[in-house]
Structure 1
Amino acid sequence: MDSITQLHATTPEKLTEAILDGVRKEINDLKKEFQPKEPDEFLTRKDTAELLKISLVCLHDWCNKGIIKPYKLGNRTYFSRKELVDNVFNSNL
């Protein structure tokens, strides 16, 4: 059973453009939702202190107080840039 749909007050070009606009909008929404996540960057103690504009002593004190979380790898200590941005820069220290 074939059916015919008639549209009034529009041209084929306007209909095509309206459909393409809708498809573009949906594709842009999907792009925003499915962007690849950036890998977390880990900073050394020195880089972290420079980023936060604090001394290494203060950085050590903040670790002991639980303000920031250190990650140990062997004898080295690293800090997650993402956690620093999310926790330290967005808090009222």
Structure 2
Amino acid sequence: MNKTVFISLSIEDLQTVIIDCVNSCLENNKNEQTPAEQPEQLLTVQGAAVFLNLTVSTIYSKVNKGDLPVMKRGKRLYFSKVELLDYVKKGRKKSNSEIEELAESYLFNKK
């Protein structure tokens, strides 16, 4: 149950209280970055191996084949966490019901 308290304030005092509350909320939110504002996370070979649950040698093999998206700076390899997630998602197999829906829509559009 919420308790309601009524107090008597002048308009100027009420405005000051509201402004202070808004500024406090803005300060708290300023320190917390939203996901869109966060810089892109880069992983090393070891970090990518842990992230994808693969061995380091498998990571090197996939990079050599051109399977994994990679950035190279000098002798070091860097992986974007976002690009690695996209790589994993591209390997998703469609379920039988999704395949049936696609087939039905294809046949329906061909009429």
TM-score normalized by the length of structure 1: 0.54
* Moved beyond 4 Å, runs of 4+: none
SS in 1 for 2:49: helix
Distance 1:68 1:51 in 2: 13
Partner of 1:40: 40
Counterpart residue number, 1:55 = 55
Query: Deviations for 1:37-80, whole angstroms, at most 9, x for unmatched residues?
Result: 54221100000001111111100111122211221112211101
Unaligned runs of 5+ in 1: 1-34
The one-letter code matched in structure 1 to 2:83 is E
Equivalent residue runs for 1:13-92 within 5 Å = 36-92=36-92
| Structure with the larger helix share | 2
CA RMSD of aligned residues (A): 2.2
Aligned residue number for residue 31 of structure 2: none
Contact 1:70 1:77 in 2 (8 A): yes
Give the TM-score of the pair, scaled to structure 2.
Answer: 0.46
**Structure 2 portions without partners, runs of 5+:** 1-34, 94-111
- Determine what percentage of the aligned residue pairs are the same residue: 31
